[in-house]
Amino acid sequence: MISCMVPGSFDPPTKGHLDVIKRCAGIFDHVVVAVVANPSKEPMFTAEERQDLLEECVGDWDNVEVDTFSGLLVDFASLKGVDIIVKGLRAMTDFDYEFQMSQMNRHLSNIVTMFVATKPEYGYLSSSLVKQVAGLGGAIDSLVPDLVAKALKERFADDN
């Protein structure tokens, strides 16, 4: 059985993330979506909220599980028995940082990182921009799943 891990902050999950996860589900026997508990930027949604949102989004894909982790990604991959990390690349601007992380992970363990090119229509999409647009009242419905759009609207309503 060949498994992969798709790690990220997912704050919140976007249609770009789900496109990468769905393609992995079609390629690998098993996919672990790994939600980092403490991302570098203060998250809008807690790790449990991000896990819940993702679980609802991937509910129909039988070979996908969602879990949270803290600490090193390579340690979590080893704990889960996964030896391939998959990251989505939107543009060359993503590449430097993603390549650097993949080299560090390779240094830390023998793990392989594979890159999946994001669907062109999601090439400009990021969780940060989605939050910014949602916070300013812009339309995000085509960028995130409905339940994520609802969660964002509720979060911004709570904040006001």
Interface contacts to ligand PNS, rule CB under 6 A: 7-9, 36, 39, 72-73, 101, 104-105
Nearer to ligand PNS, 30 or 88 (CB): 88
Rg value, the chain, Cα: 15
Check if 131 is active-site.
no
Q: Closer CB to ligand PNS, residue 91 or residue 104?
A: 104
> Of the residues 15, 50, 87, 90, which is catalytic?
90
Output the smallest distance, CB 106 to ligand PNS, in A.
10
d(CA 154, CA 10): 17
15, 17, 50, 131: which is the annotated catalytic residue?
17
Quote the least distance from Cβ 95 to ligand PNS, whole Å. 13
Q: How many CB atoms lie within 10 A of CB 102?
A: 17
C-alpha–C-alpha distance, residues 141 and 143, integer Å = 5
Tokens of residue 112, six digits:
């392989």
Q: How far apart are CA 156 and CA 137, in angstroms?
A: 9
Is 149 within 8 Å of 138 (Cβ atoms)? Answer: no
Is there a catalytic annotation at residue 106? no
Q: Which of 9, 23, 50, 127 is catalytic?
A: 127
Q: Which positions are annotated as active-site residues?
A: 17, 41, 90, 127
